[in-house]
Structure 1
């Protein structure tokens, strides 16, 4: 399935099915991001929250809960929680990465400043913790609070590993599980737990979210070297310019000869980049089939996500979540 061939994309079908729940989530988000004492908080938050993201993470909460028969209302609170955590991490990431564009728009740190982005991100984390307490489930609180800690841990690990050519695929996977997949798996797992689903189903939902999140991040890293800037909202080569050692480069470095390794050391480890270096980096990725190998890894993780869904009771929502795994990797077809 290519994106152009899909008449209705899976995330759009999911959004239509969950429209009433997502409307409630959006209302709750707007209500909880308000601040009478600091008007900059809703200004900065609204810039990012209303930037046109797909809202995959909150939809995963609602879909998992409904698929397991939950009638509400606290799935809405948990969905808003994961969106606040996600938004907070984006604000912090853009400061750390000195990013100037997200989803095709100027970043908050560019429009305001780094201090505003960091402090508003902190505020959203605090709001997220307030929201996750309200359902009154210690297990859900544990899942989401652990996810928040895991995300931060993954980001710190990336700081130390992203410019070290000794970083291998195992470390990359730990980083991805932390900074991306942790919130996907927490969203689906929390949805199953709030619904009181059997343990086997809760585990399947966790496995689905974990695999989906890993596939999602691998695709994102791949698109940085072969994507369309107008579609992805980021410039091709941003990861290279920011000296991030993502999976395609890790695969190429593993096969590099002496001259190629010296190139990666200069551009990634030492940060000395000249005109034409990005093009040479991409040529090395093609030479060692690193892009094709990365694409296959993404497809394999999407297949794991679909397999996890197969263990859950048959339903339209299950089909949509399975299709979503295909859609995530269809961006690279």
Structure 2
């Protein structure tokens, strides 16, 4: 299993459709990430925000707002809020994971220090709350505030679940629904809410974001074992080295014999990793077909995302969102 190249057309189409709105979002982000008193804040923030990310999550907010016929200014604020929340969590995650690479570049904690990354992440969270208040919509404020809490909860849950071989697929789903899908679903939901879409359509937007986020994270976990460093923007095998029980490994543990389980216990639970262990882990995943099985799960979640769109108005953006669900999974062959 590897990474498919040249499969970014759906994302490019959505980006082109929302180009004007995204320019406004990027301008607002640059304006609000500034600090007159602490120049390190824009330095650290710019390093990550300007690193070439696709801005997928804010685009989802813009897309659902446009799909629902919104013609006001505040979807820009909500999209920028979503990106600030996402960037803040990345800064914190890289400290927690002791990561050295993000989007193909050295992480902020490596270039500066852990204290700077944590404190700038805190600043961006604060900025996100300033932004989410400005539309004056209590429901969007509630959705984004709840998502921020859920993301933090998911990350803390992962701390205890990630290195425990008793972690099953249900707990894994709970973790990724918190740490990843919560922001996807909040991003899609607030677009509908700010546009005044009917409750059934807002629910469909939430369901789409939730399923898309789950599929996205499963694929991300697959890429850690099957992608090229220059393509995935991080080092292959980082999850293994960080002793994270992700879906391919959880499936392999469930199918392991006594000898294989002892290997997973030594490398994941006890952290006793030796030369050649990553290669052995890859062999065990291949032996039990767990990469393919996890990809099938991602395909099913992408299918759920596409099914949710059927409750939304017929619109070119709806077709792009459907293609986006296919794209998310097509990143792995």
Question: Normalising to structure 1: TM-score of the pair?
Answer: 0.98
Quote the Cα distance in structure 2 between the aligned partners of 1:4 and 1:145: 36
Question: Partner residue of 1:295?
Answer: 295
Alpha-carbon distance, 1:5 to partner: 5.9
> Within 5 Å, which residues of 2 pair with 1:257-272?
257-272=257-272
Quote the Cα distance in structure 1 between the aligned partners of 2:4 and 2:287: 27
Question: Partner residue of 2:13?
Answer: 13
Alpha-carbon distance, 1:72 to partner: 2.1
> What RMSD, in angstroms, separates the aligned Cα atoms of the two structures?
1.0
Does structure 2 retain, via aligned residues, the 8 Å contact 1:3–1:9? Answer: no
Question: Partner residue of 1:42?
Answer: 42
Question: Partner residue of 2:243?
Answer: 243
> Within 5 Å, which residues of 2 pair with 1:304-315?
304-315=304-315
Question: Partner residue of 2:129?
Answer: 129
Does structure 1 retain, via aligned residues, the 8 Å contact 2:4–2:332? Answer: no
Moved over 3 A (4+): 2-6
* DSSP-derived class of the 1:230 partner: helix
Does structure 1 retain, via aligned residues, the 8 Å contact 2:188–2:206? Answer: yes
> Within 5 Å, which residues of 2 pair with 1:176-191?
176-191=176-191
Quote the Cα distance in structure 1 between the aligned partners of 2:123 and 2:12: 30
1:24-54 deviation line (CA, Å, top 9, x unaligned): 0000000000000000000000000000000
1:231-272 deviation line (CA, Å, top 9, x unaligned): 111111110000000000000000111111100000000000
Alpha-carbon distance, 1:3 to partner: 5.2
1:113-167 deviation line (CA, Å, top 9, x unaligned): 0000000000000000000000101110000000000000000000011000000
Question: Partner residue of 2:224?
Answer: 224
Question: Partner residue of 2:58?
Answer: 58
1:55-77 deviation line (CA, Å, top 9, x unaligned): 00000000000000001200000
Change (3 A) 1:221 1:120: same
Question: Partner residue of 2:138?
Answer: 138
Quote the Cα distance in structure 2 between the aligned partners of 1:5 and 1:316: 22
Higher mean alpha-carbon deviation, 197-206 vs 305-314, is at 305-314
Quote the Cα distance in structure 1 between the aligned partners of 2:204 and 2:29: 28
Question: Partner residue of 1:169?
Answer: 169
Question: Partner residue of 1:160?
Answer: 160
Question: Partner residue of 1:119?
Answer: 119
> Within 5 Å, which residues of 2 pair with 1:32-111?
32-111=32-111
Quote the Cα distance in structure 1 between the aligned partners of 2:225 and 2:299: 17
Quote the Cα distance in structure 2 between the aligned partners of 1:235 and 1:243: 14
Quote the Cα distance in structure 2 between the aligned partners of 1:298 and 1:332: 10
Quote the Cα distance in structure 2 between the aligned partners of 1:226 and 1:4: 13
Question: Partner residue of 1:22?
Answer: 22
1:200-226 deviation line (CA, Å, top 9, x unaligned): 100000000000000000000001111
Show structure 2 runs of 5+ residues with no match: none
Does structure 1 retain, via aligned residues, the 8 Å contact 2:5–2:331? Answer: no
Quote the Cα distance in structure 2 between the aligned partners of 1:312 and 1:226: 35
Question: Partner residue of 1:316?
Answer: 316
* DSSP-derived class of the 1:310 partner: helix
Show structure 1 runs of 5+ residues with no match: none
